[in-house]
């Protein structure tokens, strides 16, 4: 028996090595990493420039506590990240992961409210379903009942509004009226809570694991900004999964006319080389907090020089290799190919995504949008079949009694068309096996 445990008893093959989009286990079996781990390894595995940058940093120092030293690596990465943000987002606060970044964003918003005489504001409205992390603060704003219910007595409940799943509600996502319909729900929620109590609205610009690459309908992103402005509510964009080029732009929210007050990112920033995340805030928020005595928040490993050196090299690779553009181009091709699979397999009820954050959803009936029966455990079974065949994809079943099993296909942003052929071939064969297995 191993001393190690994660979520269950299942054991996985042992990872030996990984290069580019491929990974090998200790039996020599090769896998194509079609989910970039958990949508993390955006620039592929074992990138030589990143490894060299880490080696150089390791030889200088691997830790400098933030209350004792600034480090060149964290200063350089902060400058680089700020340069990639919308111009008003100039202040960067480093953390080691996505949950920490979300916590930091919410606490920055709260301290800004306190520093500016708005202490009645504390509620963070988020969406159902959504995923924002597993620490208790991030879990309180996560709309995913099976993850948060066990801990409900330990958390302050936060209000939720429905995520705009137009495809399930039979609405046209291209029609502005659809976006306004869902944005209206945010306005109604703010009014119901009492606007003077609402601190922020938190959302993923393109949904991640919770909704399976949900793309907002036309008009939605612009209108939620207007609503936030109208009621003095801060807009926090969770770019933990979408950031660092995944959707074809450096930030996912750049696809729309919206202006976040705070951006949080992680996964693709460290890209699997080191645990790293960042909360990037509008100077207008940070200055009053610093004037009022400082940001009462911080983690021991914040701004770790090795993590920041890796992050800097990752960002340089994203730019040098034009990976945002490649994600946009390959993403379009991937979505077209997934639509091809949808034509072939009736069981695929929807295909969606942006850049290389793509997904398809299983349905037992495309017209009624009914999910597959839960007993099939489709999301797990399909992933297992693909894994057996050497293709790694990511999946979830949204546990809100309404949406079904979705499979996320999110390879590293370095993929070529030949890799896409391999992914589609692996999915095709896996779908063939899966549909035979569940045939009555």
Q: Label residue 438 exposed, middle or buried (CB < 10 Å: 0-12, 13-18, 19+).
A: middle
Which region among 127-135, 161-169, 278-286, 374-382 touches ligand PLP (by CB under 6 A)?
127-135
Site string for ligand PLP, 200-229 (x = CB under 6 A): ----x---xx--------------------
Q: What tokens does 14 get?
A: 């042992």
Please report how close the Cβ of residue 142 comes to ligand PLP at its closest, in angstroms. 8
The C-alpha angle with vertex 261 and arms to 258 and 265, in degrees rounded to 5, equals 90
Among 33, 103, 187, 238, binds ligand PLP (CB under 6 A): 238
* Minimum distance, C-beta of residue 126 to ligand PLP, in the bound complex (Å): 10
Q: Judged by CB under 6 A, which of 34, 44, 105, 133 binds ligand PLP? A: 133
The Cα–Cα gap between 430 and 381 comes to: 10
Residue 279 vs 312, nearer CB to ligand PLP: 279
Smallest Cα–Cα separation from 321: which of 47, 17, 81? 47
DSSP 376: G
129 binds ligand PLP (CB under 6 A): no
Q: Which of 321, 240, 335, 235 is nearest to 281 (CA)?
A: 235
Closest to ligand PLP by CB, 213 or 323: 213
* Three-state SS at 239: coil
Q: What is the footprint of ligand PLP within residues 180-199 (CB under 6 A)?
A: none
Q: Is 263 in the site for ligand PLP (CB under 6 A)?
A: no
The answer to whether residue 99 forms part of the interface with ligand PLP (CB under 6 A) is yes
Figure out which of the listed residues 71, 266, 358, 398 binds ligand PLP, where binding follows CB under 6 A. 266
Strand partners, 370: 365
Nearer of residues 115 and 306 to ligand PLP, judged by Cβ: 306
Q: How far is the CB of 301 from ligand PLP (least distance, A)?
A: 13
Nearer to ligand PLP, 33 or 187 (CB): 33
Helix axis angle for 323-344 and 417-438, nearest 10°, is 30
| CB contact burial 381-414 (16+ within 10 A = b; e otherwise) | bbbebbbeebbbbbbbbbeeeebbbbbbbbbbbb
Instruction: Determine if 354 is a binding residue for ligand PLP (CB under 6 A).
Output: no
* Cβ distance to ligand PLP smaller for residue 130 or 430: 130
Q: Does 371 bind ligand PLP (CB under 6 A)?
A: no
Kindly state whether residue 361 participates in binding ligand PLP, applying the rule CB under 6 A: no
97 binds ligand PLP (CB under 6 A): yes
Distance CA 182, CA 357 (A): 22
Size of the site for ligand PLP (CB under 6 A): 15
Q: Tell me which stretch binds ligand PLP (CB under 6 A): 236-244, 250-258, 304-312, 362-370.
A: 236-244
Q: Shortest CA distance to 159 belongs to which of 147, 141, 146, 172?
A: 141
Smallest distance, ligand PLP to C-beta of residue 116, A: 27
Q: How far apart are the first and last CA of the chain?
A: 38
Q: Which is nearer to ligand PLP, 204 or 261 (CB)?
A: 204
Helix boundaries (H) for 117-233: 136-140, 145-148, 166-169, 176-193, 220-231
Nearer to ligand PLP, 247 or 266 (CB): 266
Q: Which residue is nearest to ligand PLP (CB)?
A: 98
- Is 94 among the residues that bind ligand PLP (CB under 6 A)? no
DSSP-derived 3-state class of residue 153 = helix
Instruction: Please report, to the nearest 10 degrees, the dihedral formed by the alpha carbons of residues 73, 75, 79, 85 taken in order.
Output: 90
Q: How many CA atoms, within 13 angstroms, populate the side-chain half-sphere of residue 202?
A: 37
CB nearer ligand PLP, residue 208 or residue 212:
208
In whole angstroms, what is the distance from residue 253 CA to residue 251 CA?
5
Among 102, 158, 234, 265, binds ligand PLP (CB under 6 A): 102
Given the rule CB under 6 A, which residues bind ligand PLP?
38, 97-99, 102, 131-133, 204, 208-209, 238, 240-241, 266
């Amino acid at each position: 028996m191993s001393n190690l445990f994660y979520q269950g008893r299942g054991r996985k093959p042992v990872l030996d090595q990984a290069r580019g989009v491929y990974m090998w286990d200790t039996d020599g079996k090769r896998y194509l990493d079609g989910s970039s781990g958990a949508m993390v390894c955006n620039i592929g595995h074992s990138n030589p420039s990143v490894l060299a940058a880490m080696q150089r940093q390791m030889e200088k120092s691997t830790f400098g506590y933030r209350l004792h030293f600034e480090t060149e690596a964290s200063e350089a990465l902060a400058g680089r990240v700020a340069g990639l943000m919308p111009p008003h987002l100039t202040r960067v606060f480093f953390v080691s992961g996505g949950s920490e970044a979300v916590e930091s964003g919410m606490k920055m918003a709260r301290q800004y409210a306190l520093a500016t005489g708005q202490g009645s504001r504390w509620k963070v409205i988020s969406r159902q379903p959504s995923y924002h992390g597993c620490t208790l603060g991030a879990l309180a704003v996560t709309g995913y009942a099976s993850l948060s219910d066990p801990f409900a007595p330990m958390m302050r409940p936060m209000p939720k509004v429905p995520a705009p799943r137009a495809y399930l509600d039979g609405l046209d996502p291209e029609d502005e009226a659809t976006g306004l319909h869902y944005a209206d729900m945010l306005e109604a929620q703010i009014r119901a809570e009492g606007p003077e109590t609402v601190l922020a609205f938190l959302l993923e610009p393109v949904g991640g694991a919770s909704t399976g690459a949900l793309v907002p309908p036309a008009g939605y992103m612009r209108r939620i900004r207007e609503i936030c402005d109208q009621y003095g509510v801060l807009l926090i964009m969770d770019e933990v999964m979408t950031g660092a080029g995944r959707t074809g732009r450096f930030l996912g929210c750049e696809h729309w006319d919206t202006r976040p007050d705070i951006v949080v990112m992680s996964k693709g920033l460290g890209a699997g080389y080191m645990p790293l995340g960042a909360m990037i805030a509008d100077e207008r928020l940070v200055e009053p907090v610093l004037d009022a005595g400082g940001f009462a928040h911080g983690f021991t490993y914040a701004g770790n020089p090795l993590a920041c050196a890796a992050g800097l090299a990752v960002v340089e690779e994203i730019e040098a290799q034009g990976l945002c553009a490649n994600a946009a181009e390959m993403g379009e091709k991937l979505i077209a190919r997934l639509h091809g699979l949808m034509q072939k397999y009736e069981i695929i009820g929807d295909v969606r995504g942006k850049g290389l954050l793509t997904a398809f959803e299983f349905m037992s009936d495309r017209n009624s949008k009914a999910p597959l029966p839960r007993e099939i455990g489709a999301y797990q079974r399909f992933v297992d079949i693909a894994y057996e065949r050497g293709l790694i994809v990511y999946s979830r079943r949204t546990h809100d009694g309404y949406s079904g099993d979705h499979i996320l296909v999110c390879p590293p942003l370095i993929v070529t068309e030949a890799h896409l052929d391999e992914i589609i071939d692996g999915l095709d064969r896996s779908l063939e096996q899966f549909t035979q297995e569940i045939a009555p």
